[in-house]
Structure 1
């Protein structure tokens, strides 16, 4: 079976760079399954896990939004944040989730921008907790 190079990059560093069999990511318009030879494309990513398949090994990464670029023999994920389960501080993620839920619950004096920031913070926290826990 053929493979392709997957690179996951955040503003801080190169998080992952390996040959893989396939990945599954969630784009703005839905789930994307990417195999070798996929048509080139660029699309925004939702705050959601990316699933990596490499032989019998399956990995997942909590992605905090960004873009995916599919090239002929390489896929680049430009992510705002990217964390493997072993690097997630689940207590910190749970605390962030609770803070975001409190902010959303007391929205009477919030403007639209603060509300949206709280929603995004909640999505990121839940994504991290889910990737950590599976």
Structure 2
């Protein structure tokens, strides 16, 4: 038995397929989901999403959202998703410096929050790139 997974951003399905295991960061900690997992609805945080199947492991960076699981069917809704092959390592350093500067100069909580979200997303991209470098 496998999990059927669908990852979507507003107006678009980013990835759909079968998986043997899915690892994701929730607001209460990191979880691994295997087939026949108990039903679940949970909030997710900006982090690396890992989808494992027999052929390969797929990595993507997701932003805040939610996960719904019922009868081996997972739906993940997020406002932003970056597939591993779309990560631009050359642009990442400039993005990091820009987000860090925005965070450091932000006076309003909302601006600081958005800069922090960008930093989390960039760190998740670096996490994927470092994993790929070490395991290839």
| 2:112 corresponds to 1:115 | yes
Tell me which stretches of 4 or more aligned residues in structure 1 moved more than 4 Å: none
Q: SS of the counterpart of 1:36?
A: coil
Q: CA RMSD in A?
A: 1.5
Q: Which residue of 2 aligns with 1:39?
A: 38
- State the number of aligned residues: 131
Calculate the TM-score normalised by the size of structure 1. 0.89
Distance across 2 between alignment mates of 1:87 and 1:112 = 30
- For structure 2, which runs of at least 5 residues remain unmatched after alignment? 132-136
Q: Which residue of 1 aligns with 2:23?
A: 24
Give deviations 1:26-83, integer Å, cap 9, x for gaps: 1000011111111111111111111111015212111112111111120011111112
Q: Which residue of 2 aligns with 1:6?
A: 5
Alignment map for 1:1-134 (pairs within 5 Å): 2-107=1-106, 110-134=107-131
Calculate the TM-score normalised by the size of structure 2. 0.87
Distance across 1 between alignment mates of 2:91 and 2:67 = 27
Give deviations 1:70-99, integer Å, cap 9, x for gaps: 111200111111122111223333222111
Distance across 2 between alignment mates of 1:14 and 1:132 = 24
